[in-house]
Amino acid sequence: MKAGSSATPTTRIVQALALAVAFGFALAGSHLAPDGSSAADAITAVGFLLLGGTLLSELLEIVGLPHLSAYLIVGIVAGPHVLHLVSHSTVERLSPINTLALALIALAGGAELRMSTLRAVARSVGFALLLQCGIGMVLMAGVFFGLAQVFNYGGGTYSTLTLVGTAILWGVLAVSRSPSACLGILTQTRAKGPLSSFSLAFIMSSDVVVVVLMAGALMLVRPLILPGESISLADFNVLGHELLGSISMGTTLGLLLSVYLRFVGKNLSLILLALGFVATEFVRYVHMDPLLSFLTAGFVVQNLTNQGEKLLHTVENVSSTVFVVFFATAGAHLDLELLQQLWPVAASLCLGRAVVTYGLARASARLTKDAPTLQTWSWSGLVSQAGLTLGLSVVIVRTFPQLGQSFSSLAIATVAINEMIGPVLFKVALDRAGEVDQSGGPNRPSMPDLATDSHA
Amino acid sequence: MSGTVGLLFGLLLLSYVGNAASGPRLQRLFGLASGAEYVLLGFVLGPVVLGVIQRSWTETFTPMMLMGSAWLGLVAGLDCGRAPKQQALGRVLLGVVLTAFVAVGMGAATWGALHLLATELTDSERLRLSAGVAALTCATTQHALRWTISGFHCRGLLSNTLLDLSQASLLVPVVILSVLESGGGSGKVAALSLPARLGLEVGAGVVLGGLGALLLGREFRRDESWGLLLGLALFGTGICSGLGLSAVGALFTLGLVLGLCSSHRDEIRAMLLPTERPVVLPIALLAGAWIDPGAYPAAVWVAVVVVLARGLMELLRGSILFASLRAARGAGPWVALSFTSAGSFTLAACVELALQAGGTVGKSLFVIGCIVLLVGEVVGPMMLRRALVRAGDIPDAGIPSVPPPSSVGGAS
């Protein structure tokens, strides 16, 4: 990991002091305040996570950790499993911020996908998708099936067919990635280069592929898990409507946004808030997928109009604050007790996934004769998992309640591990690949420096 | 889609309107100085009149009202936190003393009115109501005066004098607000003495403001600083609200400390002062929808008495100014009615008092505060203009000029 940063020791001392004061205030407040003041609790939580995440991210720059990891750590430490500064119910109350964050992530993700970049990496991404999502899914299903025998998954109550079905579903989960983690790291580091282009293009497109794979898997495994059920194409019908409808809606949204950017171009932060909260609700109301809609909207603005950079700049400004709370809340949401119980099997699955991802990435990069950077590091951005995977696991358990709590618990545990390790690996890779923006410091700081006379 | 999402869209739209109209020229086209007319709009759209906004929706947005009112306190404190010039120090202090005088008078008048009109209230409730009304009716803000002064391109002794008198006048209602809310407290804080609770509140504001001033450092980057300022503001709001202390008071202190101690006070003001209007309009709408005159009908009659008492107290203030300041002699004693324009701080205090107090006292304070706010916002600018014309500060009477380049509520 790259050590050091441009901030002075005085700055770091003040930041550490401020973090200590913030923790002290929060601890004192939680002891002195009565229980049940939910509005004040939620406001305190947002403020503390924002403040603590911003300060810790600056401090951890010394050891080269990505800001994302700092936000997660603050959330974990402040969360219901460690210091109890943020309770379970407060974490649930903060879910609207996730809605906003995911809309911004999708919008930024789409806007980052420039046609020129896509053309350059299309072949690499295409092969990688085929290998990672196709062969990767099968291999991960195999890993799950094998480990299920070793760890006696389900306590021996599942038939072989049910285990095969469960393994296939796990395979789909395993090939889902984290657009939020990828974008969070790229935004912080302002990385530019083949690795960042490939990772962004792959992860954004794999989202769509995974959604289609999930629909297919749910259809195929139905007779395996539910005896007497047969394969039905109705799910694909619904999926088709959803995909096409989301793309249409996103295109419309993108064009409207472009018109606004071109002819008004003001109060963009408020427009993004309206998109994040209100437009998301509308998209859900008409049974479309918000992630795909906003991804399409960002893509349209970037590639069909000349307002792409303006949109990106605004989204970056707004999301820099939103991401802190989003990832810190994700950290607070991590179930450490569950992780403690399931860590052997979860760690084994994560290791298996990492090995499969690495192997397939190397194979794909060799097949397409990619640049040495990609051959060495293209796997690194694919390790992270977050909300998308958890969302898919909820869909699975809702469709097949027989799989029970054990499936979702395992998903939560593996996502927790991948969410903590993935961003670190990706940042290391970007540093080693030399793609991080070095102008004005190794990383974009969360706060300005307490400049001394040496900073003229 | 739920009604709350529709209301959220409406609030964001209002915020957009407020942001678009944050320049002085457009503000004059869009109504009153503090956006108080949106309280009326909220009342009309609310459950009492048209029922477009349901009461349950306003309850969903209680955290937003809490945050918004505290944020307005921060902005007010930041605006207040300008070290006065040496020659103006006397006028600034006189302004504080006169504001305290008006506060005492308003408190006594309200107490008397409640004795006559609200006999079912206990002494404790009357005291809290009287103190609350005193806090809401004693002060004005520089922003409210600048709104009119800059609109008429005024330059003169009276304009400067009035601005000096109002610079620190908000300190008085902040102290009353803090004492009033700290008088309750919640959880283990309730067991502490009043000075200790006050110390906690002020201390929180001072510490957070000091941290902000330190962390923002010598080099100022606007984008990176937003996260910090928002974090400090939300954290302070949540901690104080949870402990039953005044978040508006704490954040006012935070803003004051930032304004006085930060080396980047001008940049911070340039960032935060324009956020006042986009925050005020949605809060005003929600506040208007929250009004429930039926909860305590006597409150409307008390409000009438309070408005009349305010007029009397301001005349007394004006007489003192007339007697003691040369600049005020040209305008006459009616000049003090200019101070009835209270600005967004009054709205913020009103909202917080209502939310924290709750029950009959809270709802009554809210009704009285909103009525006083609306009347003041109409009377204040009118009387100020009259005074400025009489004093000769407006070059051509009645013809509004193009405002000068320096914006209302902008940097020092």
Which DSSP state fits A65?
A: -
The H-or-E segment that residue A73 falls in is helix A67-78
Residue B90 carries which side chain, given as an amino acid letter? G
For residue B56, the distance in angstroms to the closest alpha carbon of chain A comes to 15
Q: Pick the more confident residue, B142 or B345.
A: B345
Of A346-355, A428-437, B147-156, the poorest mean pLDDT is in: B147-156
Q: Please name the amino acid found at residue B153.
A: H
Q: What is the pLDDT of residues A59-103, one digit of tens each?
A: 888 888 888 889 999 999 999 888 888 888 888 888 888 888 888
Instruction: Report the pLDDT averaged over residues B113-118.
Output: 86
Please give the structure tokens belonging to residue A69: 């990891």
> Could A285 and B1 be called an inter-chain contact, meaning their C-beta atoms sit closer than 8 Å?
yes
Residue B294 has pLDDT above 70, yes or no: yes
Q: Model pTM greater than 0.90?
A: no
Contact B223 A317 (CB under 8 A): yes
**How many other CB atoms sit within 10 Å of the CB of residue A317?**
16
| Chain A residue closest in CA terms to B70 | A43
Q: How many CB atoms lie within 10 A of CB A12?
A: 17
Instruction: Give tens-digit pLDDT for A188-213.
Output: 888 888 999 999 999 988 988 898 88
Instruction: Say yes or no for a CB contact (<8 Å) between B63 and A39.
Output: yes
Q: How would DSSP label each residue in B336-373?
A: GGGGG---HHHHHHHHHHHHHH-HHHHHHHHHHHHHHH
pLDDT at A302: 93
Paired tokens of B90:
């006397």
Task: Look at A330 and A362; give whichever has higher pLDDT.
Answer: A362
Nearest CA distance, B189 vs chain A (angstrom): 6
* DSSP-derived secondary structure for A163-211: HHHHHHHHHHHHT---HHHHHHHHHHHT--SHHHHHHHHHHHHHHHHHH
Q: When comparing pLDDT for B265 and B165, which is higher?
A: B265
Rounded Cα–Cα distance for residues A3 and A427 (Å): 12
**Confidence (pLDDT) at A356:** 95
Residues of A in contact with B227 (CB under 8 A): 50, 54, 320-321, 324, 446-447
Q: Does A270 sit within 8 Å of B12, measured CB to CB?
A: yes
Burial of residue B29 (number of CB atoms within 10 Å: 0-12, 13-18, 19+): exposed
Cα–Cα nearest to A198, from A132, A125, A140: A125
Contacts of B73 in chain A (CB under 8 A): none
- Give the gap in angstroms from C-alpha A260 to the nearest C-alpha of chain B: 14
- Residue A171 — very low, low, confident or very high, per pLDDT cuts 50/70/90? very high
Helices B89-117 and B157-167: angle between axes, nearest 10 degrees = 60
Q: Which residue has the tokens 């909220």?
A: B42
Higher pLDDT, B246 or B386: B246
Distance (Å, whole) CA B279 – CA A270: 12
Query: Alpha carbon of B365 to those of A70, B130, B131, B350, B374: distances in Å?
Result: 44, 9, 10, 7, 14
Mean pLDDT of A365-380: 91
Rounded to whole angstroms, the Cα distance separating A416 from A419 reads 5
Under the banding of pLDDT at 50, 70 and 90, the label for residue B27 is low
Highest mean pLDDT out of A34-43, B140-149, B254-263: B254-263
| pLDDT for the residue B221 | 65
Check: CB of residue B344 under 8 Å from CB of residue B34. Answer: yes
Residue from the list B62, B235, B243 with its beta carbon closest to the beta carbon of A51: B235
Distance from CA of B4 to the nearest CA of A (A): 10
Closest by Cα among B176, B352, B172 to B247: B352
Judge whether A45 is closer than 8 Å to chain B, CB to CB.
Answer: yes
pLDDT recorded at residue B68: 92
**pLDDT tens digits, B1-14:** 567 777 888 888 87
Nearest to B316 by CA among B99, B171, B119: B99
What's the rounded mean pLDDT across residues B391-404?
A: 57
- Average of per-residue pLDDT values in chain B: 80
Task: Give the burial class of A402: count Cβ atoms within 10 A of its Cβ; 0-12 exposed, 13-18 middle, 19 or more buried.
Answer: middle
Q: What is the pLDDT of residue B209?
A: 94
d(CA B70, CA B64): 10
Our CA-based measurement puts residue B336 at a distance from the nearest CA of chain A, in whole angstroms, of 38
CB A225 within 8 Å of CB A165: yes
Find out whether A381 and A426 touch, Cβ atoms under 8 Å: yes
pLDDT average, residue stretch B99-117? 90
B1·A29 Cβ contact <8 A: no
In one-letter notation, the amino acid at residue B349 is: A
- Residue B405 has what DSSP assignment? S
Of chain A, the end-to-end C-alpha distance in Å amounts to 29
Would the CB atoms of A320 and B12 count as touching at under 8 Å? no
Least confident of A17-26, A68-77, A86-95, A139-148: A86-95
Contact at CB, B239 and A25, closer than 8 angstroms: yes
For residue A48, the chain B residues in CB contact (below 8 A) are: 231, 235, 238
Q: What is the reported pLDDT for A450?
A: 41
Give the pLDDT confidence of A388-444 residue by residue, as tens digits.
888 888 888 888 888 877 888 889 889 989 988 999 999 999 999 999 876 654 444
Nearest Cα of chain A lies from the Cα of B2 at a distance, in angstroms, of 9
> In this predicted structure, what is the pLDDT of residue B409?
39
Residues 283-302 of A with CB under 8 A from B: 285
Name, in order, each residue with C-beta under 8 angstroms of A381's C-beta and a sequence gap of 6 or more. Answer: A177, A182, A185, A195, A198, A199, A200, A202, A203, A426, A429
Between these two residues, A191 and A35, which has the higher pLDDT value?
A191
Phi, psi of A230 (to 5 degrees): -125, 170
Check whether B276 has a pLDDT greater than 60. yes
Among residues B360, B367, B406, B409, the alpha carbon closest in space to that of B153 is found at B406
pLDDT at A379: 95
- The pLDDT tens digits for A266-318 are 888 888 888 888 888 888 888 888 888 998 999 999 999 999 999 988 888 88
A278–B15: do the CB atoms touch at under 8 Å?
no
Closest residue in B to A43 (Cα) is: B238
Distance CA B25, CA B35 (A): 15
Q: Residue A270 is nearest to which of B15, B232, B237, comparing CB atoms?
A: B15
